[in-house]
């Protein structure tokens, strides 16, 4: 399986990663190799195998519905690049 | 050309848990920004989610209430997309094995018919935070208190064919989740949000048209308007020979206009995959039976009981049974007031009018069901007239007194129903109005006579200081005036 330049550019947009032309060529090769590996895996016959949701053979523990967390806003906001009136500030995004 | 409208709904229902779906942070509404957003909610490295048992119990109660199969081995997936109010860069949700499988809900239509709407599934997921786009020096403010609040997303089959049916379904769902107590139902706080999928096809055609999705409608009225708006928009395009573009749209209810948010080509590739941080959740019979044991009486059953127990008609029973709090108010009132029909009338009349006028919910009513019941007793036994009863209601509502009999005494609203006393007043009043009496007796048209009778009522009410029983006055008048 091959991956096109367009595919790489689209994935880069979705992942919000800026890649230049040179990197796209390198990624074309690297990601192509990874997809070849996946193709090899896909060749295995899995018709009789139940899809695996998790590699561990265990079930999830659930938690009682009780408040255990306290307000630690000050500590979290101390490491944030920008805050105001208790809000985290981020570059403007409007969808 | 004639068109069939095809509507399917996706409804986000915020679950009324104390804490978030994957952390022990409080979900209380209205807290200071980011004071209820801890390390898990903020997606700090090294944190792990632990699911809230109550969120599963509530989702299962919903599933049981809509006659759905419960998934015994439920799995969480990651839905990847970028937005600042989604700190992890993905929403933890369910795709392949949602907790609630196919079910159905029956809705009552205005024409008296019942229609079945199929539920495709309902899954558990986490809510996102809130972005505030007011100007923070050209930046966006993010409040993550809501991030991680548990939701169920209910997805219907495209079984509705007009706005009336879609709104009836939405109201029924609201009534169901509030009766179950799994959601506070407060739409103004975003507790329920609707996405509407709409497509048109030529009348009778089997092939579905291209659909659009109008997102994030937060009131029944906006939902109805948005459907009308979108149907008209699509009809205009199709009748001009155009094609509908599959897209997500936003509706502005204040302006009654919509705009495209993104088209299919621009759509996110969500790259779903099973969440490695969460193991499959196994639900056993005991857990399901415990959830079942907590199911309260549901609106359909309550409506049937109201018809049976209180001899209410279908309309009254439907209105009073839909909202759990209103139902409880009605039953408290009837337990005091006895007369169910009269109670139903007062609740739908004076009581609802005052709530609406002051934009209050039943829970915020200043008067209790018991107080209304006490007033109903005094109306039914003729102690107060209906106009006197309104004054009592007013006094109760304003909180000036909480005792019906005390109000009646204090304001002199007690009706005089002693016929001897009333007859004396009628005699005196008629003696003072000989011309009108002659005119009445000379009139043959019963309709005109009836109208003329009203002319004596004013002076009679004045003579009795407003306390004469109008019904008895009327009877005595007719008798004295000779029919």
Q: pLDDT by residue (tens digit) across B406-415?
A: 888 787 777 7
Residues from chain A contacting residue B56 (CB–CB below 8 Å): 62
Nearest neighbour of B34 by CB, restricted to A61, A86, A92: A86
Instruction: Please write the tens of the pLDDT for every residue from B111-132.
Output: 889 999 999 999 999 999 999 8
Contact B83 A77 (CB under 8 A): no
- Please report, for the domain that includes residue B448, its CATH number: 1.10.10
Nearest neighbour of A65 by CB, restricted to B18, B36, B143: B18
Mean pLDDT of B15-38: 96
Contact A87 B83 (CB under 8 A): no
Give the orientation angle of helix B446-463 with respect to helix B434-442, to 10 degrees. 160
Angle at B102 between CA B98 and CA B103, to 5 degrees: 125
Secondary structure in 3-state letters for B309-337:
HHCCCHHHHHHHHCCHHHHHHHHHHHHHH
Do B389 and B447 belong together in one domain? Answer: no
Do B144 and B161 belong together in one domain? Answer: yes
Instruction: Please write the tens of the pLDDT for every residue from A2-31.
Output: 789 998 998 888 778 899 988 998 999 999
More confident of the two residues A53 and B379: B379
More confident of the two residues B85 and B415: B85
More confident of the two residues B461 and B189: B189
Q: What architecture does CATH give domain A5-42?
A: Orthogonal Bundle (1.10)
Do B169 and B265 belong together in one domain? Answer: yes
Residue B475 has pLDDT above 90, yes or no: no
Which of B248, B265, B291 terminates a domain? The answer is B291
Using a CB–CB cutoff of 8 Å, tell me whether B181 touches chain A.
no
Task: Name A79's Cβ contacts closer than 8 Å, sequence gap at least 6.
Answer: none
pLDDT confidence bin for B384, thresholds 50/70/90: confident
More confident of the two residues B232 and B404: B232
In chain B, % of residues over pLDDT 70: 99
Residue B483 has a pLDDT of 58
pLDDT confidence bin for A92, thresholds 50/70/90: confident
Smallest CA–CA separation between B117 and chain A, in Å?
31
Helices and strands (H, E) in chain B, number of each type? 16, 15
pLDDT confidence bin for B10, thresholds 50/70/90: very high
Mean pLDDT of B16-26: 98
Do B252 and B128 belong together in one domain? Answer: yes
- Which of B293-307, B332-346, B357-371, B388-402 tops mean pLDDT? B293-307
Which helix (H) or strand (E) covers residue B239, if one does? helix B220-239
Do B77 and B168 belong together in one domain? Answer: yes
pLDDT confidence bin for B310, thresholds 50/70/90: very high
Residue A95 has pLDDT above 60, yes or no: no
Nearest neighbour of B279 by CB, restricted to A58, A71, A85: A58
B338: left (phi over 0), alpha (psi -120 to 50) or beta: left
Residue B441 has pLDDT above 70, yes or no: yes
Domain count, chain B: 3
Residues from chain A contacting residue B55 (CB–CB below 8 Å): 65
Do B256 and B322 belong together in one domain? Answer: no
Mean pLDDT of B452-473: 79
The pair of structure tokens assigned to B270 is: 């969500």
Q: Mark which residues 96-115 of B lie under 8 Å from A by CB.
A: 96-97
Mean pLDDT of B385-404: 85
More confident of the two residues B356 and B463: B356
pLDDT confidence bin for B38, thresholds 50/70/90: very high
pLDDT confidence bin for B265, thresholds 50/70/90: low
- The residue range of the domain holding B475 is 419-481
- Model pTM score: 0.81
Nearest neighbour of A62 by CB, restricted to B26, B51, B274: B51
How far the first Cα of chain B sits from its last, in Å, is 62
Do B158 and B263 belong together in one domain? Answer: yes
Instruction: Please write the tens of the pLDDT for every residue from B269-294.
Output: 788 999 999 999 999 999 999 999 99
Smallest CA–CA separation between B76 and chain A, in Å?
9
Task: Count how many Cα atoms sit within 13 Å of the Cα of residue A83 in the half-sphere of its side chain.
Answer: 16
What is the rounded radius of gyration, in angstroms, for the C-alpha atoms of chain A?
22
Mean pLDDT of B24-43: 96
Do B355 and B218 belong together in one domain? Answer: no
Give the C-alpha separation, B243 to B227, whole Å: 18
Residue B477 has pLDDT above 90, yes or no: no
Do B339 and B399 belong together in one domain? Answer: yes
Using a CB–CB cutoff of 8 Å, tell me whether B39 touches chain A.
yes
Do B130 and B255 belong together in one domain? Answer: yes
Do B23 and B113 belong together in one domain? Answer: yes
Residue B152 has a pLDDT of 98
Residue B266 has a pLDDT of 67
Using a CB–CB cutoff of 8 Å, tell me whether B349 touches chain A.
no
Which helix (H) or strand (E) covers residue B340, if one does? helix B340-346
Nearest neighbour of A65 by CB, restricted to B53, B81, B136: B53
Using a CB–CB cutoff of 8 Å, tell me whether B163 touches chain A.
no
Residue A94 has a pLDDT of 65
Do B133 and B205 belong together in one domain? Answer: yes
Which of B291, B322, B354 terminates a domain? The answer is B291
Smallest CA–CA separation between B408 and chain A, in Å?
49
Q: Which of B92-96, B102-106, B377-381 has the lowest mean pLDDT?
A: B377-381
Instruction: Please write the tens of the pLDDT for every residue from B160-210.
Output: 999 999 999 999 999 999 999 999 998 888 999 999 999 999 999 999 999
């Amino acid at each position: 399986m091959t991956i096109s330049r367009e595919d790489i550019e689209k994935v880069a947009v979705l992942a919000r990663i800026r890649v230049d032309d040179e990197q796209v060529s390198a990624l074309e090769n690297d990601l192509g190799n990874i997809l070849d590996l996946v193709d090899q895996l896909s060749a295995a016959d899995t018709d009789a195998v139940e899809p695996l949701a998790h590699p561990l053979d265990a079930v999830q523990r659930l938690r009682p519905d009780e408040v255990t967390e306290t307000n630690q806003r000050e500590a979290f906001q101390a490491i944030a690049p920008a805050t105001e009136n208790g809000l985290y500030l981020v570059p403007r995004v409007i969808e | 050309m004639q068109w069939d409208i095809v509507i399917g709904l996706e409804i986000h229902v915020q679950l009324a848990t104390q804490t978030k779906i994957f952390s022990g942070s409080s979900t209380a509404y209205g807290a200071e920004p980011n004071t209820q957003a801890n390390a898990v909610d903020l997606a700090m490295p090294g944190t792990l989610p632990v699911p809230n048992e109550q969120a599963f119990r509530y989702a299962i109660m919903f599933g049981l209430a809509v006659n759905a199969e419960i998934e015994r081995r439920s799995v969480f997936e990651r839905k990847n997309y970028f937005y600042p109010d989604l700190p992890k860069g993905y929403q933890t949700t369910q795709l392949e094995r949602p907790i609630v499988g196919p079910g159905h809900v029956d809705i009552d239509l205005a024409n008296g018919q019942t229609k079945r709407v199929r539920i495709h599934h309902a899954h558990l997921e986490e809510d996102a935070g809130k972005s505030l786009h007011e100007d923070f020096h050209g930046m966006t403010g993010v409040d993550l208190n809501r991030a991680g609040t548990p939701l169920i997303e209910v997805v219907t089959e495209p079984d509705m064919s007009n706005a009336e049916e879609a709104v009836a379904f939405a109201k029924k769902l609201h009534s169901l989740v509030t009766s179950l107590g799994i959601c506070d139902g407060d739409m103004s706080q975003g507790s329920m949000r609707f996405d509407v999928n709409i497509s048109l096809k030529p009348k009778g055609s089997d092939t579905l048209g291209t659909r659009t999705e109008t997102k994030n409608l937060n009131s029944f009225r906006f939902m109805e308007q948005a459907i009308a708006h979108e149907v008209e928009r699509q009809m205009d395009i199709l009748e001009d020979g155009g094609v509908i573009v599959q897209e997500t749209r936003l509706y502005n209810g204040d302006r009654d206009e919509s705009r495209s948010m993104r088209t299919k080509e621009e759509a996110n590739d969500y790259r779903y995959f099973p969440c490695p941080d969460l193991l499959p959740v196994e639900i056993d019979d005991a857990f399901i039976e415990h959830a079942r044991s907590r199911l309260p009486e549901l609106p359909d059953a309550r409506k049937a009981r109201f018809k049976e127990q209180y001899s209410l008609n279908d309309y009254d029973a439907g209105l009073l049974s839909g909202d759990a709090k209103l139902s409880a108010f009605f039953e408290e009132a009837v337990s005091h007031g006895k007369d169910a029909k009269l109670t139903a009338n007062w609740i739908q009349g004076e009581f609802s009018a005052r709530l609406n006028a002051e934009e209050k919910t039943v829970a915020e009513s200043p008067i209790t069901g018991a107080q209304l019941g006490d007033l109903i007793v005094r109306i039914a036994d003729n102690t107060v007239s209906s106009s006197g009863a309104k004054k009592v209601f007013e006094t109760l509502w304003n909180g000036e007194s909480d005792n019906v009999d005390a109000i009646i005494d204090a304001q002199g609203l007690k009706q005089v129903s002693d016929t001897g006393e009333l007859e004396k007043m009628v005699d005196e009043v008629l003696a003072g109005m000989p011309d009108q009496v002659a005119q009445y007796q000379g009139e043959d048209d019963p309709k005109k006579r009836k109208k003329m009778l009203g002319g004596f009522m004013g002076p009679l009410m004045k003579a009795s200081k407003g306390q004469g029983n109008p019904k008895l006055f009327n009877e005595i008048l007719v008798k004295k005036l000779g029919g």
